[in-house]
A and B are shown apart, each in its own frame.
Chain A
Amino acid sequence: MEIVKTKREASGIKTILFRDRRCAKAKPGQFVMVWILGVDEIPLSLSLTDHKGHSGITVAKVGEATDILYSKAPGEQIGVRGPYGNGFETVGEEALVVGGGIGLAPLMPLTEALSRRGVKATIIAGAKTKAALPFIETINSYAVASHEVHVATDDGSYGVHGTVIDILKDLLGKRSFDVIYTCGPEDMMLKVFNIAENHKTRIQACLERYMKCGLGLCGHCVLDPLGLRVCKDGPVFTSEILRKSSDFGKYKTAADGRKIPV
């Protein structure tokens, strides 16, 4: 599949646009298996879908495969399988969206979908620094478009000096939400889940695991003890499931099938 366009989102983070009819109709939270020819194939959330048939993935440089994918230019080829997975379910009227770093990727099309449904969303976005915060322009445009936006950076270089968790605690202390959608580092999502539990608020968390097939067959992305596959039963899981999962926030399965810490 030919890369149509690329867009730098932050330091070491880039969105890659391509044309695919099925991806353009994907639900927010669904993902694709992206083949970086000659290198690897990795799961990435769709971070953009539009009516012109464009779809986008957003990649952060974290290793060999993502470094090479990041360096791809328009006109170059990538392989795309999917979309796969369940995606977010847009429920309720008062939605809180909590994203950290590259984890903001699947939350972008979600926020668009909430807008289309007329849901007023409150967005908490965070990163280590301003330079590492992707989608700043888009997020700021949400603030104009009747959503409420809070931004935190660990070093205080943009928005509140602190983390998304600090803002989340503060907000939940003052008001209630029907649902919290979250994606980011798993320890962050675990904190979001625990805080939400204390406030009796349901969450939908978008998880990431090592995958080989993406089709629900290889079993590498399993969540114990329920035997749920992140690629097929997820990647978005609700509080009901997360409560029963002994792996969430703790363990993942390595390429050889052994459990290792997240």
Chain B
Amino acid sequence: MKPDLTVEIAGLKLRNPTMLAAGVLGISGSLLKRVAEAGAGAVVTKSIGPEPRAGYPNPTVADVRCGLLNAMGLPNPGIKAFSRDIIALKTLEIPLIVSVFGSNPQEFVEVAREAEKAGADALELNASCPHVKGISEICQHPRLLSEIVKSVKSAVTVPTVVKLSPNVADIAETAKIAEDAGADAVTAINTVRAMAIEIETGRPILANKTGGLSGPAIKPITVRCVYEISKSVKIPVIGCGGIACWQDAIELLLAGATAVQIGTAIAQKELKIFKSVASGIQNYLKNKGYKEVQEIVGLSHQY
């Protein structure tokens, strides 16, 4: 018999542990639908704020070989316009998680309420965008993070995930703060603050000068963060950052993640990556004699 790939996160049932990461493709309902059709277990939208926002001027991305650097600046159509996309995705066969940002607890609550009303199955609070002032610092301010999570939790009934920043001294401690404030799960990690300079002219490449690094370069950081977080909290951890193949996904499950998010790797491997990672996990479980994903979650902690 084939091992069971389904996992459960805060009441959400995923047909397999792969998810689309926030910020990638999720600005359009039709693209989210395409990702679902490609086999993902769940999708996370682009981060949505209270008002339309154009983001930063280009260049918003820089190819840095070991990964991808970006400073999009949270472009999004605002929750009012995006609600129409959420409503249109009612028939989506997998959980739709709306990524939410705001510059204060009230804005988080406003967007969260609207997203829930439109039909979001869960929320992921972006408390960690590394290149937008105000939002990048949320994880560095325990009291603000706690207040945001508590406010949102008391305003909505859908599961609420908190996406954490690696740009803190102790990410396990940040995760604990989110858990204590009522978070149903955490996603780790958002991009790592980084920079690239063009050497002929000496000019920073990104219009915003600094941005967030994603891709293969940050995977070992993700593994370390997931490992540390899953030791310190009881809520599920979703691993995100640099996953480009099924082996990466297995590594994160062993480190303590219940599911994994994929983003940057889509540029290289296209949408078929969701199916190939899911079937890779299934083969691994079968070869090792496991019946379900949960059996290997956090297995590395025994050593």
Contact = CB atoms under 8 A, between A and B. Distances in A.
B61 to A, nearest CB: 5
Interface in A213-248: 213-220, 222, 224-227, 229
Contacts of A214: 61
A248 to B, nearest CB: 13
B165 to A, nearest CB: 20
A257 B27 contact: yes
B72 A35 contact: no
- Interface size class on chain B is 35 or more
Interface residues of A, number: 32
Given A37-B201, A41-B59, A255-B54, A217 B264 contact: yes
B205 A212 contact: no
Contacts of B203: 37-38
Interface stretch (B73-81, B97-105, B149-157): B73-81
Contacts of A42: 58
A65 to B, nearest CB: 9
Given A41-B59, A217-B25, A218-B72, A226 B77 contact: no
Interface in A26-65: 33, 35, 37-38, 40-42
Contact of B61 (A77, A212, A226): A212
B294 interface: no
Classify the interface of chain B: helix, strand, loop or mixed: loop
Interface in B69-89: 70, 72, 75-78, 81-82
B267 interface: yes
Contacts of B70: 213
Interface stretch (B28-36, B112-120, B138-146, B228-236): B28-36
Given A41-B59, A77-B201, A217-B264, A224 B30 contact: yes
A37 B24 CA distance: 26
A212 B57 CA distance: 8
A164 to B, nearest CB: 31
B266 A216 contact: yes
B263 interface: yes
A37 B63 CA distance: 16
Contact of B52 (A38, A81, A224, A256): A256
Nearest to B30: A227
Nearest to B214: A217
A161 to B, nearest CB: 40
A214 B72 CA distance: 13
A215 B27 contact: no
8 contacts: A33-B59, A215-B267, A216-B267, A218-B61, A219-B25, A256-B54, A257-B28, A257-B52
Interface of A: 2, 33, 35, 37-38, 40-42, 77, 79, 81, 212-220, 222, 224-227, 229, 253-258
The 3 closest A-B pairs by CB, nearest first: A41-B58, A227-B30, A227-B34
